[in-house]
Amino acid sequence: MATPVSESAVGTADLKTVRELAAQLRVDSVRSSTSAGSGHPTSSMSAADVLAVLVARHLRYDWDNPEDPANDHLIFSKGHASPLLYSVYKAVGVVSDHELMNGYRRFGERLQGHPTPILPWVDVATGSLGQGLPDAVGVAIAGKYLDKSPYRVWVLCGDSEMAEGSIWEALDKAAYYKLSNLVAIVDVNRLGQRGPTEFGWDMDRYAKRVEAFGARAVVIDGHDVDAIDAALADAEDASRPTVILARTRKGEGFSEIADHEGWHGKPLPADMAERAIAELGGERDLRVRGPVPAADQPRPEPIQRPAITLPRYELGAKVATRRAYGQALAALGARTDVVALDAEVSNSTYAEDFAKAYPDRFFEIFIAEQQLVATAVGLSVRGYVPFASTFAAFFSRAYDFIRMAAISQVDIRLAGSHAGVEIGADGPSQMALEDLAMMRAVGGSTVLYPSDATSAAALLEAMADLSGVSYMRTTRGAYPVLYGPDEPFAPGGSKVLRRSDGDTVTLIGAGVTLHESLAAADTLAAEGVAARVIDLYSVKPVDAATLLEAARATGGKIVVTEDHYPEGGLAGAVLSALDDSGLALNVRHLAVRSLPGSGTPTELLDAAGISAKHIVDAARDLLR
């Protein structure tokens, strides 16, 4: 092996140093993955020249101060190329060679198989392909429209993920919002996991697609350092988003495997790794840093968080919780960190109330739910408080983005309206009947289902300060206000609306089924049966103490009613809370158990077996 080289270049390295850096990145990608016994060295080697030029000459980043809001952002959409990213971190001096060689892909270490924000230089978790670029759109929107700062957002994409529709949603919205601060670099190395990619090295086809979506396409040789440098410099002066299509070879630098199939995701055996390192000129210990943001570069204005005056609702007045969502969101907009997004249904979700009050902090994402969630993720990266709304059913399209948001440990707030059979004549394609289960399954999530306008407004305000992914399910129809304007609500709580010392059965509902449960309780009371009624507005976390108290008081006799399929919704939350209670439970679970059709809300609730009369029948059955 060659004698190790030790150099330091602070500021802008010359191209000779950049070439040495690219070789070092390849060597360290091989070393780290071989040491770990797993990883993607060949996918890292193809993009090493591009990253060397970017990090040494164009990325304005203070590595000692990753929280500087003026820093550029670097997002690895092709997160499997983590050996390259971690080798960059070694080259800039924030990760040691010891950690690179002994901490990569090891239990309990921070250099995980795909990057996560456990590292302070990582904005979002990547590895589920097609998500880094959409997330970057959110970061770039924040930079251009909210921070009003000249930082740039650089994204490394793989050519395989160009088959993902989310990539094209991202480019479409990037062009719509004229995100000239966004630069995507596509590593077109021709080979995917099992063989050639869809378009191989057909650079013209890639370029035509990029241009068709309104971005600027630049085709280069991804191993020509001079061409890379010129393209990156040119992108910094562009007037629209730039996509640099870099033609590369997978495994570049080691002739035994370069552009050979069958090496995706495979570390080199020790003997091959030794030959590869020798061919690349041996190990190096370069320390190279590029430019940093100027001291006088604009930073975001301080956030203003005045006291919020929520809308107040008269007891008994009929108000839809989706209407209360819009009104409360507009009130919450007095905080300058609150941002709203919608998927072209803001006149139904009532996010339009916020849009009218704060048009500079409202972003229309149109019918692109994956990009809706990704934009919220990117805004959260920049410290904003995003609320994203659409019909509840359509969040299922973006579920992978939602689960990845949890892995990214970002704070986003989602609001799904028009849930359940209660929506009426639109039919089953519009009826979210899986959303509570879907959102409950997300790690660390909060799931809220208010039953009236007062609780919806109060819970929305609470969501603004929640960590992780939070979700509010709102109802289409208008139902009576149940609570006074000063009634407190908090995630993890519930409300007991009917209670007596003689309660013999517990009725549990949320949203529309709470109102049906109250009607059922009135019918039972007329028959001399006292029923306890619980508003389970917090589905996750659930109020286990109140549920346990009610179960004990009513001899374990419980009716849970939900406008949702049986799996994973309210009953799932209730039964999991009581699982270790030791009580003998006798539960009737009323849920939507067959495919609904069109009809009036009254017809559909009754047909599904979740209306008041069915709750009464279930309670009577328990008490026989």
**Beta-strand runs (E) in 434-494:** 446-448, 469-473, 478-480
**Cα(319)–Cα(315) distance, integer angstroms:** 10
Contact 379, 142 (CB under 8 A): yes
Q: Where are the beta strands (DSSP E) in 230-367?
A: 242-247, 287-289, 318-320, 338-342, 362-364
- 196 DSSP assignment: B
Whose CA is closest to 454, among 557, 373, 535, 391?
A: 535
The Cα–Cα gap between 213 and 211 comes to: 5
Residue 195 phi, psi (nearest 5) = 155, -155
Q: How far is residue 14 from each of residues 226, 275, 404, 420, 621, measured CA to CA in Å? A: 11, 28, 38, 62, 82
Closest CA to 158 of 253, 57, 42: 42
∠ Cα 489 493 499 (to 5°): 100
Token output for 456: 């919806």
Of 161, 283, 369, 516, the catalytic one is 369
Q: DSSP readout, 357-395?
A: H-GGGEEE--S-HHHHHHHHHHHHHTT-EEEEEEEGGGG
How far apart are the C-alpha atoms of 624 and 604, rounded to whole Å? 28
- CB 623: neighbour CB atoms within 10 A? 16
Contact 25, 203 (CB under 8 A): no
User: Is 369 among the residues known to form the active site?
Assistant: yes
DSSP code for 499: -
150: number of Cβ within 10 Å: 16
Alpha carbon distance 312, 342 (integer Å): 24
Per-residue tokens: 268: 């080199």
CA gap 34, 268 in Å, rounded: 6
Identity at 21, one-letter amino acid code? L
Contact 264, 238 (CB under 8 A): no
8 A C-beta contact, residue 154 and residue 183 = yes
Strand partners, 557: 586
Residue 552: Cβ within 10 Å count: 12
- CA–CA distance, 285 with 7 (Å, rounded to integer): 7
Cβ atoms of residues 175 and 241 within 8 Å:
yes
What are the residue numbers of the active site?
Answer: 369
